[in-house]
């Protein structure tokens, strides 16, 4: 057991979820979920405004949503920190109005108050409810918290979540990844080291992480996910099924009827939950629409097999992140000791069966999937507050980090899934003669070419002493800390001239960008390899071309036409042949024949010229000795 210190001011752990939220605190050495004022261990992430301006949060807000659909706000986590363009496809799913403000900001409109709210403000109301209930339960004022987010939340979403905490009056000590939090809660008392796979399917997002836990060390080996997959998406399958059936039979689009839509959303969620324990349920919604004086009803039987048929595509999407996480961790399913379920959507039987088939082992059901993330956040709170000592948490960066180099390539400095904090350096040089400035273009992604990756920032290093290309040594250092803050510095080793840039949130990207980048890297691997080969050959050709021209010029000042050896003739022939092949794009012939031939001839003649130069022997027509001290850089050959 890790050592525990007492007498420390309480810091709570909060799982601010899409569907439900949970608050937990460390008592002694164990995390404990705090019940809310209604006696529940989870609080619906729902906020409503009443005609008298009262704010309702949690279960009471959810209960009145059908009669007040346009002023009841739920699933706001899908919008926090996002631009309007990023969430446009999700607006039809909800019964309230989402507006686009200047700069693409998202605002939630409350017609009852004729007022716009930011997603941060709505989220802050949920946090206030959790903290107020915890304050009453603990009889202690709560001012500090750890708040969890999906592993692939981008910088804007993380900062917006932190802002929500600030609006709620909290000092947010850390934004913690949800799968990592779950592992902390699961592995707190583990003495034996285990490799665990965290399968986190929540209301709006999906994360998979592979970790090694136990013996006071928690190391994230790999993480993957899908930022557009969660319980809401399963609900929407049922909603669409109901709405489309009604439109076929009644010729009415219920997506346009906000109150009816809210009833259908609630009925769909209820049906989904019921089908986790029973084979069939009835969806009965009387008076769902009034056509003049004629009421229209919905009454249909909905069974598990139909639900699973509708869910096929979503279930298929659950597979890829699992397989990718294992691949990135360099493990097979046989290496996984435990599969930990997180998020209410893991109760869906088809999801569980898919996992069992995929990994070939039973699922660990020792943790509560609704509560384990908040409990892990409480453990992290205890670590930061000094209540728990001797625990080491090693998280990872989900994508590679590097710089743009010659030919538009990306050179990786920190690889994907590297443990953080981390510091790595590489030495580069100039790409042209007498270059006094280099531009450092910082990138994130898995593609070989800079243009296909995420640009994080650009800065310049000036004052490089004039020298032939390839001579200056420029050390570029990447440093990524535990909070996801990336610092990049460049230093010219001869003069000590240095420049740096700090980039916040470099370990995250915009919605779906991480998954998209990895997928594109896999799909375009062959094409990228071909393009990269072309760039490398082009650069090598260009480099050798300039040096060959210089060598030919020097040779012609040393040797007469009569004295030229067969090696010189061969070199000139290779040189001419290579230029011709390059002009016609004959890459295979260049890389396998012409370039090696020219290199061999180049190196031989360089040695001959150098020997002649050292001996001070003039074989030129003007009687002068050959020039001394000519340096031709062949380090790239």
Strand, helix or coil at 299? Answer: strand
CB atoms within 10 A of CB 140: 12
Q: Tabulate helix, strand, coil % of the chain (nearest 5).
A: 40, 30, 30
Q: Are residues 49 and 194 in the same domain?
A: yes
Q: Are residues 404 and 463 in the same domain?
A: yes
Residue 544, pLDDT score: 62
Q: Are residues 443 and 357 in the same domain?
A: no
Question: What is the C-alpha to C-alpha distance for residues 340 and 176, in angstroms, rounded to an integer?
Answer: 18
CA angle 203, 206, 207 (to 5 degrees): 135
Q: How buried is residue 418: exposed, middle or buried, by Cβ count under 10 Å (0-12/13-18/19+)?
A: middle
CA separation, residue 628 to residues 177, 208, 558, 613 (Å) = 63, 64, 12, 6
The upper half-sphere exposure of residue 35, i.e. CA atoms within 13 Å in the direction of its Cβ, equals: 4
Q: Are residues 329 and 405 in the same domain?
A: no
Q: Are residues 435 and 574 in the same domain?
A: no
Q: What global pTM score does this model have?
A: 0.68
User: Is position 276 within any domain?
Assistant: no
Helix (H) or strand (E) holding 501: strand 498-503
User: Is position 251 within any domain?
Assistant: no
User: Is position 244 within any domain?
Assistant: no
**CATH no. for residue 25?**
3.30.420.40
What DSSP assignment string belongs to 525-564? Answer: HHHHHHHHHHHHHHHHHHHHHHHHHHHHHHHHHHS-TTT-
What DSSP assignment string belongs to 363-421? Answer: PB-SS-TTTHHHHHHHHHHHHHHTSB-S-EEEEE-SS-EEEEEGGGEEEEEE-TT-EES
**Catalytic site positions:** 15, 77, 178, 200
Name the domain count of the chain. Answer: 3
Mean pLDDT by 10 residues, the chain (637 residues): 53 96 92 96 96 89 94 95 87 90 90 94 96 95 94 78 92 91 85 91 92 84 86 96 95 92 95 97 95 89 97 96 94 96 96 97 93 96 81 76 88 84 89 86 85 81 86 90 76 86 49 50 56 58 64 60 58 68 58 62 62 48 34 32
Q: Quote the tokens at residue 204.
A: 């709006």
- Contact between 517 and 401 under an 8 Å Cβ cutoff? The reply is no
* Domain carrying residue 65: 11-230+313-395
Q: Quote the tokens at residue 20.
A: 């439900």
Question: What is the C-alpha to C-alpha distance for residues 445 and 434, in angstroms, rounded to an integer?
Answer: 31
Question: What is the C-alpha to C-alpha distance for residues 619 and 637, in angstroms, rounded to an integer?
Answer: 28
Residue 548, pLDDT score: 64
Q: Are residues 408 and 542 in the same domain?
A: no
The upper half-sphere exposure of residue 330, i.e. CA atoms within 13 Å in the direction of its Cβ, equals: 4
CB atoms within 10 A of CB 221: 22
User: Is position 627 within any domain?
Assistant: no
Q: Are residues 478 and 377 in the same domain?
A: no
User: Is position 114 within any domain?
Assistant: yes
Q: Are residues 403 and 331 in the same domain?
A: no
Maximum Cα–Cα distance across the chain: 115
- Provide the β-strand partners of residue 222: 210
The upper half-sphere exposure of residue 455, i.e. CA atoms within 13 Å in the direction of its Cβ, equals: 10
Question: What is the C-alpha to C-alpha distance for residues 11 and 637, in angstroms, rounded to an integer?
Answer: 59
State the virtual CA torsion across 135, 138, 144, 149 in degrees, nearest 10: -90
Q: Are residues 223 and 339 in the same domain?
A: yes
Q: Are residues 45 and 183 in the same domain?
A: yes
User: Is position 516 within any domain?
Assistant: no
Helices then strands, counting H and E runs in the chain, come out as: 16, 28
Question: What is the C-alpha to C-alpha distance for residues 312 and 324, in angstroms, rounded to an integer?
Answer: 20
Helix (H) or strand (E) holding 16: none
CB atoms within 10 A of CB 233: 21
Q: Among residues 367, 395, 423, which one ends one of the domains?
A: 395
User: Is position 137 within any domain?
Assistant: yes
Q: Among residues 362, 395, 428, which one ends one of the domains?
A: 395
From 177, 216, 178, select the one nearest 389 (Cα to Cα). 216
Q: Are residues 383 and 496 in the same domain?
A: no
From 537, 594, 591, select the one nearest 409 (Cα to Cα). 537
User: Is position 253 within any domain?
Assistant: no
Q: Are residues 194 and 219 in the same domain?
A: yes
Residue 505, pLDDT score: 45
Q: Quote the tokens at residue 612.
A: 């002649």
């Amino acid at each position: 057991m890790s050592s525990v210190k007492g007498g420390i001011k309480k810091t709570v752990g909060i799982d601010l979820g899409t569907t439900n939220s949970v608050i937990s605190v460390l008592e002694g050495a164990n995390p404990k979920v705090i019940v809310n004022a209604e006696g529940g261990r989870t609080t619906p992430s729902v906020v409503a405004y009443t005609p008298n301006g009262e704010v309702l949060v949690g279960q009471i807000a959810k209960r009145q949503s059908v009669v007040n659909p346009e002023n009841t706000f739920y699933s706001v986590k899908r919008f926090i920190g996002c631009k309007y363009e990023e969430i446009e496809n999700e607006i039809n799913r909800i019964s309230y109005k989402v507006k686009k403000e200047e700069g693409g900001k998202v605002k939630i409109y409350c017609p009852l108050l004729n007022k716009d709210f930011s997603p941060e403000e709505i989220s802050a109301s949920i946090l206030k409810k959790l903290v107020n209930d915890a304050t009453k339960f603990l009889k202690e004022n709560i001012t500090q918290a750890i708040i969890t987010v999906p592993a692939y939340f981008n910088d804007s979403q993380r900062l917006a979540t932190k802002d929500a905490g600030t609006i709620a009056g909290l000092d947010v000590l850390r934004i913690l990844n949800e799968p990592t939090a779950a592992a902390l809660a699961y592995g707190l008392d583990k003495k034996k080291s285990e490799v665990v796979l965290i399968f986190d399917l929540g209301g709006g997002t999906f994360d998979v992480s592979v970790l090694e836990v136990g013996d006071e060390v928690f190391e994230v080996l790999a993480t993957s996910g899908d930022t557009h997959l969660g319980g809401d998406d399963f609900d929407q399958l049922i909603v669409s099924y109901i709405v489309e059936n009604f439109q076929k039979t009644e010729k009415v689009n219920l997506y346009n009827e906000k109150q009816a839509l809210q009833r259908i959303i609630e009925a769909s969620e209820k049906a989904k939950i019921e089908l986790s324990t029973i084979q069939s349920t009835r969806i009965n919604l009387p008076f769902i629409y009034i056509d003049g004086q004629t009421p229209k009803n919905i009454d249909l039987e909905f069974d598990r097999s139909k639900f699973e048929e509708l869910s096929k595509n979503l279930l298929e999407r659950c597979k890829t992140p699992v397989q990718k996480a294992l691949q990135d961790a360099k493990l097979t399913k046989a290496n996984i000791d435990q599969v930990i379920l997180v998020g209410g959507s893991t109760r869906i039987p088809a999801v569980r069966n898919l996992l069992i088939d995929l990994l070939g082992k039973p699922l660990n059901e020792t943790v509560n999937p609704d509560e384990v993330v908040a409990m892990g956040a409480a453990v992290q709170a205890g670590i930061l507050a000094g209540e728990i000592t001797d625990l080491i948490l090693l998280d990872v960066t989900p994508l590679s980090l590097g710089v743009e180099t010659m030919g538009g390539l990306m050179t990786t400095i920190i690889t994907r899934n590297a443990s953080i904090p981390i510091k790595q350096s590489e030495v580069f040089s100039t790409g042209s003669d007498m270059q006094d400035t280099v531009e450092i273009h910082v990138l994130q992604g898995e593609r070989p070419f800079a243009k296909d990756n995420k640009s994080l920032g650009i800065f310049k290093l000036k004052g490089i002493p004039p020298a032939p290309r390839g001579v200056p040594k420029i050390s570029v250092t990447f440093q990524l800390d535990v909070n996801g803050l990336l610092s990049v510095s460049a230093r010219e080793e001869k003069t000590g001239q240095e420049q740096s840039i700090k980039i916040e949130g470099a370990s995250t990207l915009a919605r779906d960008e991480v998954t998209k980048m990895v997928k594109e890297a896999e799909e375009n691997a062959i094409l990228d390899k071909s393009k990269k080969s072309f760039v490398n050959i082009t650069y090598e050709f260009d480099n050798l071309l300039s040096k060959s021209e210089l060598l030919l010029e020097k040779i012609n000042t040393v040797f007469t036409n009569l004295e030229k050896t067969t090696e010189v003739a061969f070199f000139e022939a290779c040189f001419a042949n290579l230029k011709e092949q390059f002009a016609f794009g004959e890459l295979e012939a260049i890389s396998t024949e012409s370039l090696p031939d020219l290199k061999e001839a180049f190196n031989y003649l360089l040695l001959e010229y150098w020997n002649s130069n050292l001996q001070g022997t003039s074989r030129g027509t003007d009687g002068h000795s050959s020039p001394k001290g000519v340096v031709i850089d062949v380090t790239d050959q």
